[in-house]
Structure 1
């Protein structure tokens, strides 16, 4: 799999990308970000209601996730927007000056099947079509997904929902499929893009990270090319200290482990599935609200790295 691992002593990656001064501030809050992994609308609603920052929405998580239906995506946008509207109403008339202004991040998984991440031309066309149609849906639902103009000249209020995409594709020899990734980014209509844990199957993490920065990918979801984020901490530290896509630590991350993981790696974002206990593999992976509430409280209390 991975012949070259990135460590915190790999300065060459700093040349790949530079910070975007026009990037919305809500994408880099001054605390640890919690992204949940859910497979239904209820999971999105709970994530938005109970204080998670984002939710990755996929179907069939038992097979590591596939693309949800466009109807599910539409209903999920409504569900998240309702929760954000309630939060803003509670914040009062001046909510735009408070933390309530941050939209809820809804990230839609684009993956045509389970298994490996090497896709043929038909699968690639399906992925491109899914991104294009969901991006069109987001434009149609612009009252929820686009900044809203105010009475002041040139001023806008943040959207309720920031829709993005989670993608990943490799070549047969373990490199990033640059052609397909470029097409998917181009179809996304400017939405934020995460490259999922296909990254951990790349032949060379340093090469892959550099490629993704050059292709316009915003986030990389990774365990540091190890079975768990704790085991991949050295690679995560190297990625987190580099200028390029933001690192979202995933793989066996539990709320109680986040403080130690942040201290060891410098990551500012974590991803976890907070499903109810005792679920069989074929059952819907329902989100546990008590576990989610506890995770939000624990993770948001962890000091962000300087």
Structure 2
């Protein structure tokens, strides 16, 4: 590829952020509580990481496990607090009980982000209709990325969907970058790169000791090498 692929690494704290940077990460996704698949981090963590590393940081806006928005007023207040702490990029995504995008909740949070760039996360992999979700969100300010494995079960199951969506790049609802994550392995990389996919997201793959251990710069560097080779 003519352009360097983006490598995004999940960080929980400053130690993770520094290791990810040292390994060659291009961007961080900052979350708390991976037991709940990643929730909104404390504003102090946002400020600490921004002071420690000169990398873009996308901060999760999500207050409870699952993909229901819950108390939208609390979400809006959380988004505003993150902005005040210096966050400039975000991650979010909400579904209703039928598996459709919760457009009202998404739009209210996006309004609070004041034009900042953001990723719609793996809620798309639980959506009843991925195509309808994309088209409904098309045109929202700041939306530039979908984090997806192509299927709720992970990249092994979702690879055909990822390749099909990559082939639609540029169509209405498909202008955003595909950021692949969720059961992603190094052996998936050649197939994804060959399809023109240039965004890769790792969490556990950057942590040889699991989620109880920190990000490993060496593990991140292995991914950087695979993407650049």
Same fold (TM > 0.5):
yes
**CA shift for structure 1 position 226:** 4.2
1:254-291: CA deviation from partner (whole Å, max 9, x where unpaired)? 2343112222x431101111343343x6x3x4112211
Task: Map 1:1-306 onto structure 2 (within 5 A).
Answer: 30-81=3-54, 104-114=55-65, 116-120=66-70, 122=71, 124-138=72-86, 163-216=88-141, 217-240=143-166, 241-243=168-170, 244-263=175-194, 265-273=195-203, 274-279=205-210, 283=212, 285-301=213-229
Q: Secondary structure at the match of 2:155?
A: coil
Q: Secondary structure at the match of 1:214?
A: coil
Higher mean C-alpha deviation, range 196-205 or range 40-49: 40-49
1:223-264: CA deviation from partner (whole Å, max 9, x where unpaired)? 11241223212221232233222111111112343112222x
Q: How far apart in 2 are the matches of 1:176 and 1:202?
A: 7
State whether residues 128 and 184 of structure 1, in contact with CA within 8 Å, keep that contact through their aligned partners in structure 2: yes
In structure 2, the CA distance between the partners of 1:211 and 1:167, relative to structure 1 (3 Å rule), is: same
Task: State the structure with bigger RCO (CA 8 A, min sep 6), 1 or 2.
Answer: 1
Aligned length, in residue pairs:
221
State whether residues 208 and 219 of structure 2, in contact with CA within 8 Å, keep that contact through their aligned partners in structure 1: no
Structure 1 residue ranges without an equivalent (≥5): 1-28, 82-103, 139-144, 146-162, 302-306
1:110-152: CA deviation from partner (whole Å, max 9, x where unpaired)? 11011x21133x2x222111111111222xxxxxx8xxxxxxx
Q: Secondary structure at the match of 1:230?
A: helix
1:58-115: CA deviation from partner (whole Å, max 9, x where unpaired)? 011122111100000000101113xxxxxxxxxxxxxxxxxxxxxx22110111011x
TM-score normalised to structure 2 length? 0.89
Q: How far apart in 2 are the matches of 1:226 and 1:262?
A: 21
In structure 2, the CA distance between the partners of 1:278 and 1:51, relative to structure 1 (3 Å rule), is: closer
**CA shift for structure 1 position 44:** 1.4
Structure 2 residue ranges without an equivalent (≥5): none
Root-mean-square deviation (CA, aligned residues, Å) is 1.9
Give runs of ≥4 in structure 1 deviating > 4 Å. none
Q: How far apart in 2 are the matches of 1:226 and 1:168?
A: 14
Q: How far apart in 2 are the matches of 1:178 and 1:73?
A: 27
| Rg larger in structure | 1
Q: Secondary structure at the match of 1:165?
A: strand
